[in-house]
Structure 1
């Protein structure tokens, strides 16, 4: 539907599809984990990964990728992230609580079919 002036009305956050909301939720969670990982020194990340490897029963030297994966998993389990259902309810009530924390990754997965900015 085109409003007067020739431009479509802005999208309301309550009308976003579940796929877009899930993509935004994953973007938000990823941003929170990344923020914590960026605060860690390489030594702290290594120790975190070693602890996680020990708990998982992994033996031997860890590759860089394994260190990052294990540290990421540990941080994501320890963070108090909201469930998807809680996040959606809060996001629909006040998107500004979360919009500033999104990295924008969700946009590449769900581009707007009409070429508009999907925010």
Structure 2
């Protein structure tokens, strides 16, 4: 992980995104990412709370047809796969990236903000 030279928050986000995309389950993606990166997070100077939020942000996006939530939204709202990808998948990805940007901004103030 050190050789990638990626900021820890982005690494948390991307790892969760990749696992979510490959596997389909948000819960599995979050727990697996947390287990994989736990020692890296502890060794870094970034707040573990911000890393956890970045992992959760990565779990939000890329809800593809291998995800049961994708089909629940598709069938509940009676929309086809193409429109579900446009609304649900892309919307979730934009939400996740927005959260990552906010967490990155918060990380600049982690020494000042209480609780981080």
| TM-score normalised over the length of structure 2 | 0.28
Q: Which has the larger radius of gyration?
A: 1
Q: Normalising by structure 1, what TM-score?
A: 0.28
